[in-house]
């Protein structure tokens, strides 16, 4: 359907369109005149999104989550917020409200719940686009009541946000208080256990025994190495008895050997000249035997001295080794005690850290339970509305006119389609699928030729 056809239909059905428009306008006038007036009061809140946590000094992540503002709007429209409003304004104590509740429910259910549902039907909280503004609008038949309720919902929301967070933080605080008692008992037990262990084993905070005993162990180790070397040397010198180089190189032994050699030379000369019964022979023989005896005795004495020295060096080495082993055991025992003491100290430190962390969190939760997150502020309290929000004549009557024209047009088109008429050249051509050659004017009764159609037909005939 073309625009020309639509105008032809509207022109032909103008009475119908006018009738529908008139009915719609009269309907809107009736609404304006007879519908009970409604008054809307608006309170405007601002929510500080992305604020800094006053306790930790860090950005508050809870206010940066997606949908945070929408959640706050739902809190405003929540049942518990309405309950707070009822209690704040003492609406449940109003006799008229109580009578209305009994009449509506025959006394079944709770008055607060019924009244909260009634209030929530007229409350609307909307988040302004691309901002942190929430508008609270309450609509009722009394302008003063609307203003009071809008402001009451704003105050109840601030209280509700504080209660929600403080309730959670108070629960956390109670939990940490309980944990603190247990952690404090564990810390005291660990400290007492460490003190008893240190007292029993003579360990103090500045204990230097381990360092002193370690130095003594190192000293004994050095002495034992020296004693071992001396023992090996002494045994090496004592090995071989009288034929040891130390024995043979002894000055006394060498002197006696020289005497023995001289006496042997003298004895051989006498033996070659004199007989065995010669006094000089016998005297030389006795002197030689005496010198040999002295030499053997000196060598034996010196060899015995070397053996005694080797024995003493071995004993000294054995004593040093035994003392070293005892000192090593003592140092190991001290190290074991020190390790056990350090384990107990670590337990005390761990319990202390756990106690400090719980105490810190308990303090933080106690403070957080009294802090309002998001910092909601009232930008505008809801004043008593000066005019009704519904119905408005300057809105509804033009709206009725527009809707009447729209509905009248639709109805006119539907009626036309149900009873189709030929109202223009286009209608004839579309219906008969033939070109129109001329039209007769209803006013003058003359035929008007359609030049374009004649020209088109002539061209087709030729």
List, run by run, the mean pLDDT of 10-residue segments along the chain (462 residues).
Answer: 74 86 90 86 83 54 70 90 92 90 89 92 90 90 92 89 70 75 85 79 58 72 73 58 53 67 69 66 71 68 64 75 80 77 84 84 70 68 85 84 90 80 67 70 51 42 38
**Residue 75 · residue 160 · CB < 8 Å:** yes
Sign of the CA dihedral 181, 182, 183, 187?
A: positive
C-alpha–C-alpha distance, residues 138 and 120, integer Å: 9
Length, in residues, of the chain? 462
What's the helix, strand, coil split of the chain in %, to 5?
A: 70, 10, 20
pLDDT at 123: 93
C-alpha–C-alpha distance, residues 351 and 307, integer Å: 65
C-alpha–C-alpha distance, residues 437 and 451, integer Å: 8
pLDDT at 166: 67
Residue ranges with strand state E in 120-208? 123-127, 133-140
pLDDT at 452: 44
Q: Is 183 exposed, middle or buried, given 0-12, 13-18 or 19+ CB atoms closer than 10 A?
A: buried
pLDDT at 455: 42
The count of other CB atoms within 10 Å of the CB of residue 50 is 12
Give me the helix-helix angle, 393-418 and 14-34, nearest 10°: 150
**Angle, vertex CA 136, rays to CA 132 and CA 142, nearest 5:** 165
């Amino acid at each position: 359907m073309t625009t020309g056809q639509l105008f032809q239909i509207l022109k032909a059905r103008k009475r119908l369109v006018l009738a529908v428009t008139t009915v719609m306008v009269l309907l809107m006038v009736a609404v304006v005149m007879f519908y009970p007036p409604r008054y809307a009061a608006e309170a405007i809140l601002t929510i500080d999104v992305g604020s800094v946590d006053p306790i930790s000094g860090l950005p508050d992540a809870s206010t940066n989550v997606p949908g945070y503002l929408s959640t706050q709007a739902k809190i405003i429209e929540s049942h518990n917020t309405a309950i707070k409003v009822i209690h704040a304004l003492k609406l449940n104590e109003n006799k008229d409200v109580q009578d209305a509740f009994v009449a509506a429910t025959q006394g079944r259910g709770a008055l607060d719940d019924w009244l909260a549902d009634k209030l929530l039907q007229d409350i609307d909280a909307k988040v302004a686009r691309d901002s942190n503004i929430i508008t609270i609008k309450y609509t009722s038949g009394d302008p003063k009541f609307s203003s009071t309720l809008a402001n009451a919902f704003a105050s109840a929301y601030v209280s509700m946000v504080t209660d929600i967070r403080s309730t959670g933080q108070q629960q956390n605080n109670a939990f940490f208080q309980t944990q603190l008692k247990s952690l404090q008992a564990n810390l005291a037990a660990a400290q007492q256990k460490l003190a008893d262990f240190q007292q029993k084993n003579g360990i103090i905070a500045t204990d230097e025994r381990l360092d002193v005993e370690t130095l003594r162990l190192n000293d004994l180790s050095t002495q034992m190495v020296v004693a071992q070397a001396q023992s090996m040397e002494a045994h090496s010198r004592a090995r071989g008895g009288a034929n040891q180089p130390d024995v043979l190189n002894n000055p006394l032994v060498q002197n006696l050997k020289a005497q023995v050699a001289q006496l042997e030379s003298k004895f051989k000369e006498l033996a070659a000249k004199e007989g065995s019964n010669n006094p000089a022979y016998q005297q030389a023989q006795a002197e030689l035997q005496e010198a040999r005896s002295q030499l053997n005795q000196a060598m034996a004495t010196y060899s015995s001295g070397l053996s005694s020295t080797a024995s003493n060096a071995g004993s000294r080495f054995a004593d040093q080794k035994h003392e070293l082993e005892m000192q090593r055991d003592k140092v190991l025992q001290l190290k074991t005690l020190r390790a056990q003491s350090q384990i107990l100290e670590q337990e005390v430190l761990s319990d202390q850290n756990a106690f400090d962390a719980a105490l810190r969190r308990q303090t933080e939760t106690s403070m957080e339970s009294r802090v309002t997150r998001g910092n909601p502020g009232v930008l505008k309290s809801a004043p008593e509305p000066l005019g009704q929000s519904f119905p408005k004549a300057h809105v509804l009557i033009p709206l009725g006119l527009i809707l009447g024209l729209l509905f009248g047009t639709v109805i006119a088109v539907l009626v036309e389609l149900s009873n189709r008429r030929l109202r223009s050249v286009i209608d004839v051509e579309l219906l008969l699928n033939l070109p129109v050659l001329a039209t007769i004017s209803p006013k003058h009764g003359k035929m008007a030729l359609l030049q374009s159609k004649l020209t088109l037909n002539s061209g087709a005939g030729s």
